Structure formats: C-alpha cells, structure tokens
Amino acid sequence: MSTSSRPLLEVRNLRVEFNTRRGTLTAIDDVSFEIAPGEVLGLVGESGAGKSITGTAIIGLLEPPGRVAGGEIHLDGQRIDTLPAEQMRRIRGRQIGAIFQDPLTSLNPLYTIGRQITETIQTHLPMNARQARERAVALLKEVGIPAAERRIDHYPHQFSGGMRQRVVIALALCANPRLIIADEPTTALDVSIQAQIIQLLKKLCRDHGTAVMLVTHDMGVIAETADRVAVMYAGRLAEIGPVQEVIHHPKHPYSVGLMGSIPAIGQEVERLPQIEGSMPRLDAIPRGCAYNPRCPDVFERCRTQRPNLMPAGATRAACWLHARDGEASPGNRAEDSAHA
C-alpha cells in the first residue's frame, strides 16, 4: 500500500461458499486486499481461481447457492456486504461500476444504447430526460464513438464488438462511480482491439480518478495497466504486491510458475515452461497450502499448515518459504478445518 489515505475498497477475510447437495464448497477462502482511490489493482489467476466470484461478491450479485459466508467488504469506510438489497442496489452503478467480459451479450438487444444509458443515468442522478441524453452523448464521445449524436439511437447489434465494449464502458462510467470492477474486459475482443480498449479504460479512469479492479488472466494487460497485482490460486490469494515486483521478482512459487509461462519477445525457447498438474477442484483442495501438490519447493510444513500472506521482499506472499526462520509468523493458524 503506497498511499497513506484511507483505502477506497477494503476486503477483509472474504469467504464465499456454495451450498450444494454434496456439501459446502468454498470458492473464496480468506481473501483480503485493499484498493486505494484511483488505483488499478490487477487480479490474475487461472480459470476457476475465484477472480470473477470475488468481483461478483463485492457488487453483491452472487447468485444462490453462492453466498458471502465470512469476512467484510468496506467501501470508503462503509461496510457494504451486509447492506439491505435496496441500499446495495443504489451503490451498484453509482459507487461501483462493472464491466463484463462479453460486450456482445452485455447489452439488451431490444433497446437503443441511448435508452440503456439514459435509464442508468436517471436511476442514479437527478436529471431529466434531456439532461440525461446530453450526458449520454458526452459519454459516448468520451469513449470514442464517432457521430455519437446519431449513434445514440442505434441498437446494440448495429455496433461492432469493440464499439459495444466502448458503450459498456460508457454505461459503467455513467454515474461517475469511484470504483470499476472490470471482469475480463478484453477477453472476448479481437487482439487488435484489446489494446485500444485497455488504453481507453486506463485513460478514462485516470481522468475521472476512478479506481479499477481489473480481473484478467492476461499478464500483458496487467503489466501495462495495473499499479498492483494480486495473484489468486484455488480461491486464495497467493501473492499481492506492486506490479513490476510481482512480474519480475515473484516470490510465491505459483507466481514464479505463472510469470515463467509468459512468452518473452526475442527469447528463443523450445517450449514455454508450464506448471505441472492442474488447479484442484473446489471439493478437493489439499490440506495446508493449496498449491503444495504442484509446488517444486514443497516441504513438510506446506502439507499440514496453511500459510497466510507474509512479507516477502517487496511483495507479500502466502508461502512458508518466506516465513522467518523457526518461528510461525503471528496470525498464521494451523489448518484445522478438515478438507475432504
């Protein structure tokens, strides 16, 4: 944490569970992080690591049987995970905007984009129809839609994928939220468009002072955009720290493996290194460190005791390799809940 001011978003020991017929699955387990005002936090990890669920939990849109089973989420000092549905609704869009993965399916096909934008503006801001429309046109111009005055009355299917993602960004920004949760905002787009959209998102958030939680598995996007990065594995945080540190000097063996598998230009390799094995299923997360069966540096303690985040160089990593010799770091608790 670089800034001294109060964090905008504070997630403490978040735990998300899914009750299924075969028992309770823990999708997010004891995840804590903070986002400062205006900061971009990248959230990376393999598919199924719990990145999107973290985002969904923050905006309070987990679908049953998923539920926040523990921990706290604070927005600007206010606890939001226990708010009544109606108050949480007012926060969504107004305080926390969201951008989803697929712009082709994020917009209602039966309404013009103008209607969808003005509807959102008027839900959150005290504006009449004309003011809302003016604001919508201004937003569309800002996200780079050419001929916005005319295009505002067009339907989503009349826009290309990249243009639609611009509209989605305009929708997320339309009530000037303080935080945007962008869930894989470029994954569904052409490679040639991805950079444009990321640049746009970055610029807009800088202009508006909006903080971003950028969920992605694209390390290139993270390197280019994020201030800090959090690496998730099997619903837990493996490492969190400044982006350059995590990319160039990863401390957790999983981060090391993840960064090692990124191809570098100008580097001749026969095959890219890969991490052996696969992420455990939610109903079979191993005791101790969740990564221990795949970890090249595993030792006895990793199999029995679960590591919490601990300082490791310039980052913080949940790995016993970085425990100070001999002593169990304060706050580290033995894994007492038996995992099947």
Partner 1 sequence: MIAFVIRRLLQGVLVMLVVGFIAFSLFNFVGDPVSLMLPPEATQADRQAMRENLGLDRPFYVQFATFIGNAVQGNFGISLRLGRPVSALLVERMPATLELAFVAASLALLVGIPLGVYTGLNRNAWLSRFFLAASLIGVSLPTFLIGIFLILIFAVWLGWLPSFGRGDTMMVGGWSTGFLSTSGLRALILPSITLGLFQLTLIMRLVRSEMLEVLRTDYIKFARARGLTNRAVNFGHALKNTLVPVITITGLQLGAIIAFAIITETVFQWPGMGLLFIQAVQFADIPVMAAYLCLIGFIFVVINLVVDMLYYFVDPRLRIDGTAAGGH
Which residues of the chain form contacts with partner 1 (CB under 8 A)?
59, 61, 89-94, 97-98, 100, 102, 105-112, 119-120, 123-124, 154-155, 157-160, 168, 171-172, 174-175
**Smallest gap, in angstroms, from Cβ of residue 116 to partner 1?**
8
Strands 211-215 and 40-44: parallel
Query: For partner 1, which is the closer residue by CB, 146 or 266?
Result: 146
What are the Cα distances from residue 132, in Å, to 129, 152, 169, 199, 247? 5, 12, 17, 26, 43
d(CA 182, CA 233): 19
Query: For partner 1, which is the closer residue by CB, 146 or 326?
Result: 146
Q: Which two tokens stand for residue 124?
A: 């959150």
Query: For partner 1, which is the closer residue by CB, 169 or 317?
Result: 169
**Smallest gap, in angstroms, from Cβ of residue 326 to partner 1?**
48
- Phi, psi of 305, deg, nearest 5: -120, 135
**Smallest gap, in angstroms, from Cβ of residue 168 to partner 1?**
7
E strands of the chain, at which residues? 9-20, 23-35, 40-44, 66-75, 78-79, 96-99, 179-183, 211-215, 228-233, 236-242, 310-312, 315-317
Query: For partner 1, which is the closer residue by CB, 175 or 193?
Result: 175
**Smallest gap, in angstroms, from Cβ of residue 21 to partner 1?**
15
Query: For partner 1, which is the closer residue by CB, 107 or 219?
Result: 107
Q: What is the CA radius of gyration of the chain?
A: 21
**Smallest gap, in angstroms, from Cβ of residue 71 to partner 1?**
21
Query: For partner 1, which is the closer residue by CB, 42 or 103?
Result: 103
**Smallest gap, in angstroms, from Cβ of residue 105 to partner 1?**
4
Closest C-alpha among 204, 201, 203 to residue 214:
201
d(CA 55, CA 232): 13
